[in-house]
Structure formats: C-alpha cells, structure tokens
C-alpha cells in the first residue's frame, strides 16, 4: 500500500492536465472535489450494486427515509444511487459531463452537500470542452487512482497534503487551512486530561464537537485517543 504522501503525489500529477487552462492557484477547484468524489466512489464500491438492487423497494418513501434505508445497505452514513461510478463514467466519454452530474446527484443528501460546497458544477462546465476532452481526461486519471486501501486518518493526511501543496501554489501557508496534527494531539490531550477515568468506564457516551472541523483532524485524533484508552 502506498503512503499518504505517495497517494497525494499521484493525485497532484493529475493537476498537470490543467496547465494552460487553469492558473496554478485554481487547481484545487478541480482536484479537491475530484479527490472527494473518487474516495467516496472507492469506499462505496463493494456495496454499490446492493444499493441499486434495493432502490426500487424504497422509491415510494420520503427522501429522508430513503437515505436512512439505503445508507444501511451501503454500510455508511451515505450512499450513491446513480447507475454510474468512475468505471462507467470513462466508458462513455461523449457524455462525460451529464453522466458525472448524474453520479454527483446520486449521492445521499449529506454527501451531496459536501460536493456542493466546492461549487464543482461550475468547473464541470469549464472542463467540458470537446476540443480538449479535459473533463474526460481528469476523470480517467482519477479512475486509475485507488483510494479504497486507506483508512479515514490516512485519507485525511492525504487531503491535508494536497491542501498544503495548493497553499504553496497560492503563496499561502497550509496552517491557514488546517491545524497540524502535532498541535491537534496536544489539544486533544489537554481536552481529555480530566476525563481519563470516565472515558474508560463502560456505558459512557461522549460527544466531540468541532464547529470548524475542516478535514476532520480533531475528530479522528479524538477517536484515536479514546481507543488508546480502551484497547
């Protein structure tokens, strides 16, 4: 399995396709949402067909109830009910834009809201140039990157490494976008220092809230801390 830096480097190379059509400081507008889409596509792959097979049984339900039922089939707090995945997207290059939008719209509400945050639909229009086939080439390169063999923490590291690279291109510092893990570990230790005894008792439920969670570093390190207390 490749390290998170090697994965980030693979993804970063896709940005080379954008040279000339995008400013370097704008690469992230394409690469970051595509990374999210590919990651979701990879983790949902094992249960995707089961979700599609179950879909007719819940078509008459309200959207919220439908999401709950299909999330359970998918095994995550999200699912995708589109007939498309990255493999099928690249199989139809002439309709890549409309099919990609269909794929995005197939996500459950919570996952779709994350994608909408990137305003990626504008980039689909910009990339969908029949003279360059840029949208298809970007999707194809991402289809060749496997993001299924990484845990949530490793994926978080990968995403943060990409943010760092894009920050360098924009003459910004990565610290403006995410908190270094060393700082997070210190914060988590300070946060939980008086709760060690409580957190090792049975039946205790604690909620960790991060109103500016970004890539989820505080949440993942917090989870790791609690698991270390309860091996």
Question: What is the location of CATH 1.20.1260 in the chain?
Answer: 4-174
CATH of domain 4-174: 1.20.1260
Spans in the chain with pLDDT lower than 70: 1, 169-183, 212-215
Stated pTM of the model: 0.78
Phi-psi sector, 20: left (phi>0), alpha (psi -120 to 50), beta: left
Residue pair 34/138 in contact (Cβ under 8 Å)? The answer is yes
Nearest C-alpha neighbor of 2 from the set 128, 125, 148, 120: 148
Residue pair 74/102 in contact (Cβ under 8 Å)? The answer is no
Residue 18's pLDDT is 93
Can you tell me the distance from the alpha carbon of 231 to that of 227, in angstroms, rounded to the nearest whole number?
Answer: 6
Residue 35's pLDDT is 94
91-130: per-residue pLDDT in tens? 999 999 999 999 999 999 989 988 888 899 999 999 998 8
């Amino acid at each position: 399995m490749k390290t998170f830096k090697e994965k980030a480097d693979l993804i970063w190379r896709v940005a080379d396709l954008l040279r000339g059509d995008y400013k370097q400081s704008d690469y992230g507008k394409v690469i970051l949402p595509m990374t999210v889409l590919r990651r979701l596509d990879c983790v949902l792959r094992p249960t995707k067909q089961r979700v599609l097979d179950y879909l007719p049984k819940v078509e008459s339900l309200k959207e919220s109830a439908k999401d709950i039922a299909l999330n359970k089939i998918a095994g995550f707090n999200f699912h995708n009910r589109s007939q498309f995945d990255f493999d099928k997207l690249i199989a139809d290059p002439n309709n890549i834009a409309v099919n990609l939008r269909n794929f995005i719209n197939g996500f459950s509400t919570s996952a779709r809201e994350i994608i909408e945050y990137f305003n990626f639909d504008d980039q689909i229009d910009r990339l969908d140039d029949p003279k360059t086939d840029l949208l298809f080439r970007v999707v194809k390169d991402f289809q060749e990157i496997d993001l299924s063999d990484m845990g949530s923490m490793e994926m978080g590291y990968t995403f943060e490494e990409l943010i760092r690279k894009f920050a360098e291109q924009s003459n910004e510092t990565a610290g403006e976008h995410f908190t270094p893990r060393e700082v997070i570990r210190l914060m988590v230790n300070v946060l939980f220092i008086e709760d060690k005894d409580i957190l090792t008792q049975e039946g205790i439920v604690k909620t960790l809230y991060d109103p500016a969670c970004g890539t989820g570093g505080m949440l993942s390190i917090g989870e790791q801390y609690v698991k270390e207390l309860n091996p």
